Amino acid sequence: MKMNCPHCECVARLHSLHAAGLLLREYVYCCSNPYCGHTFIVRSEVGYTLTPSKIPNPNVHIPISVRAAKRRENKEKREAAASLPEAVPAHQQVRKKCA
Ligand SMILES: [Zn+2]
């Protein structure tokens, strides 16, 4: 992951990586500008689920994104509607004649 120093905007080089759990990584970057010398940490975190895992880890809890939740809800509605018997429009209904 390319980074620039937030102070002088020169290229920063990746110095080391720290795993801080299953969902978080921390990268130590050093600014390449010798007149700056800034060293800083960049965090990379798993934020939201877009498509749920087919082999979920029971110890991992990642919130589902709002967009993915709506997509899942719409899919469930479509599947529920498809399982219902098809409604016949009123103009196509056959009326029984009274004797
Ligand atoms: Zn710098």
**Per-residue pLDDT tens for 77-90?**
999 888 877 666 66
Is the dihedral angle over the CA atoms 31, 36, 39, 43 positive or is it negative?
A: negative
- Domain 1-45 top-level CATH class: mainly beta
Say how many Å lie between the CA of residue 25 and the centre of ligand 1.
22
- List the chain residues with pLDDT less than 50: none
**Per-residue pLDDT tens for 37-50?**
999 999 999 999 99
pTM of the model: 0.62
d(CA 29, CA 20): 16
What letter does residue 31 receive in the DSSP assignment? E
Q: Which strands, in side-by-side order, build the sheet including 24-31?
A: 3-4, 11-19, 24-31, 39-45
Beta carbons within 8 Å of 50's beta carbon, 6+ residues apart: 64, 65, 67, 68
Say how many Å lie between the CA of residue 41 and the centre of ligand 1.
13
Say how many Å lie between the CA of residue 34 and the centre of ligand 1.
8
